[in-house]
């Protein structure tokens, strides 16, 4: 199931961003995760060359960004606003981590949903904060709690995409797994070679063969790897180059 | 259960980073998530004012960073290396998303574990790639697959911290994992033995050594298994019983 359609209804709102580089980084972070709807509330400098530079191939997201004066304007038409600020503890109601908040956002995203980021230093004002139903919390080290704005947008956008994903991360099928019969023959080959070389001595070698069996059993070798190892063992049976 | 202690054993390795700003962003991303061990393989420019500026309050991470010449040097003492490059499909075996890879990393992090990031444009070389047992995949939009390097470090570091919350206590260390250095010596031993036996011929054997490296990298051998295999290879060097 491809659920990424819902990402089109996610609006990323940056409130009074100070650094144009962060706006560009946010645009790139969004685009890599399949988001495109960027709203800027009273940006200090925009447009700006550094925003374009950091956006890299996501310049289209910048060019289509909506610039408005107030958070209220950025939330027009939205059914849910989620705040990501660390401030205003006293105003928070529904606090959850970003993973949970991303799921809530997607569940509501049959219509526009806003993810609201505060200014780099000051966060959100109290007036802005009260407009947000959910407070999303990024777990951080107590020693350093302040994510870069672009990085915060990246983490949230990533969680939004993960929430969509019925992940299609199938390993490439180009490698054929060895059968247990092939593994057994490889084990026998090792046993013979180790005996011939004098490395394995039934009277003295204890659990050696058991360890070899365990190693081969848990490795899940590919057929070609079995061939390589058996080819090597076979080469030992010929007169040695010296 | 607070399991964030394991984060101290996570090593973030940036391979040939081109942009000093990305090094600073990586340092900040790390510190917010409780990581501190940064390794730089042949950075183009370091130290650099832009790295310091982007690091913000994570300058200590930059100042303590290890600068080395090769990926091999950066992996010294590690028991597991995880790659995060989109290249080298043909060498991959254990492919998983970043969330799964973060769990694997933490499970192994009773000893050092490396998370390896490639150069911004070129990624990892094939020689570097084969040293990594796990390939971590960040799900992206098909329209824009390239995360900024600092943003990729942020996402991975975030997943590592999130994984701490759910991580089980590491299983009892009945079997000691081999270090990557021990694996490297085993690989060299195989190469020598295969050359001596005539099985490996540089002119004809194609990707044989690469396949051996890949096999050894993904198997996560135990120290005793390395000893067994090297003992066997050593026994081949003596005059043969026939």
Residue A172 pLDDT greater than 50, yes or no: no
> Looking at residue B89, what is its pLDDT?
59
Per-residue pLDDT of B130-150, as tens digits, reads 888 888 989 899 888 889 999
Mean pLDDT of B108-124: 93
Residue A176 pLDDT greater than 90, yes or no: no
Query: CB distance B94–A171 less than 8 Å?
Result: yes
A178: confidence class by pLDDT, cuts 50, 70, 90 = confident
Question: How far is it, in rounded angstroms, from Cα A26 to Cα B147?
Answer: 11
Query: CB distance B139–A162 less than 8 Å?
Result: yes
**How far apart, in Å, are the Cα atoms of A33 and each of B93, B96, B146?**
25, 17, 10
Best B61, B207, B236, B241 member to test A by mutation, with max A CBs in 10 Å, is B236
Residue carrying structure tokens 């180009």: A174
Question: How far is it, in rounded angstroms, from Cα B124 to Cα B13?
Answer: 11
Query: CB distance B32–A219 less than 8 Å?
Result: no
Question: How far is it, in rounded angstroms, from Cα A87 to Cα A89?
Answer: 6
Residue numbers in B near A138 (CB within 8 A): 158
* Identity of the residue in A148, A165, A171 whose CB atom sits nearest the CB atom of B28: A148
Helix axes B20-32, A149-164, angle to 10 degrees: 70
Q: A32-36, A74-78, A110-114, B175-179 — which is least confidently predicted?
A: B175-179
Per-residue pLDDT of A26-77, as tens digits, reads 999 999 999 999 999 999 999 999 999 999 999 999 999 999 999 989 998 8
Nearest chain B Cα distance for residue A225, angstroms? 7
Nearest chain A Cα distance for residue B130, angstroms? 15
* Identity of the residue in A162, A169, A232 whose CB atom sits nearest the CB atom of B199: A232
A2: confidence class by pLDDT, cuts 50, 70, 90 = low
Supply the ipTM of this predicted assembly.
0.81
Cis amide linkage into residue B47, ω under 30° from 0: yes
């Amino acid at each position: 199931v491809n659920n990424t359609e819902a990402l089109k209804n996610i609006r990323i709102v940056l409130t009074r961003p100070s650094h144009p580089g962060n706006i560009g980084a946010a645009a790139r972070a969004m685009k890599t995760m399949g988001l495109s709807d960027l709203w800027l509330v009273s940006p200090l400098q925009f447009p700006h060359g550094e925003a374009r530079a950091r956006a890299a191939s996501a310049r289209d997201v910048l060019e289509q960004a909506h610039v408005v004066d107030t958070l209220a304007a950025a939330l027009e038409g939205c059914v849910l606003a989620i705040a990501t600020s660390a401030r205003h503890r006293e105003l928070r109601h529904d606090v959850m981590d970003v993973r949970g908040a991303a799921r809530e956002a997607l569940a509501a995203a049959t219509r526009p949903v806003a993810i609201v980021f505060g200014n780099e230093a000051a966060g959100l004002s109290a007036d802005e904060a009260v407009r947000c139903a959910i407070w999303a919390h990024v777990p951080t080290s107590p020693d350093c709690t302040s994510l870069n704005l672009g990085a915060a947008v990246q983490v949230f956008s990533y969680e939004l995409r993960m929430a969509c994903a019925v992940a299609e991360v199938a390993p490439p099928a180009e490698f054929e797994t060895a059968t247990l019969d092939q593994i057994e023959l490889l084990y026998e080959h090792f046993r013979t070679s180790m005996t011939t070389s004098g490395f394995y001595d039934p009277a003295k070698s204890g659990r050696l063969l058991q360890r070899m069996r365990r190693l081969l059993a848990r490795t899940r070798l590919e057929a070609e790897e079995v061939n390589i190892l058996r080819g090597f063992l076979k080469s030992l049976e010929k007169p040695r180059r010296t």
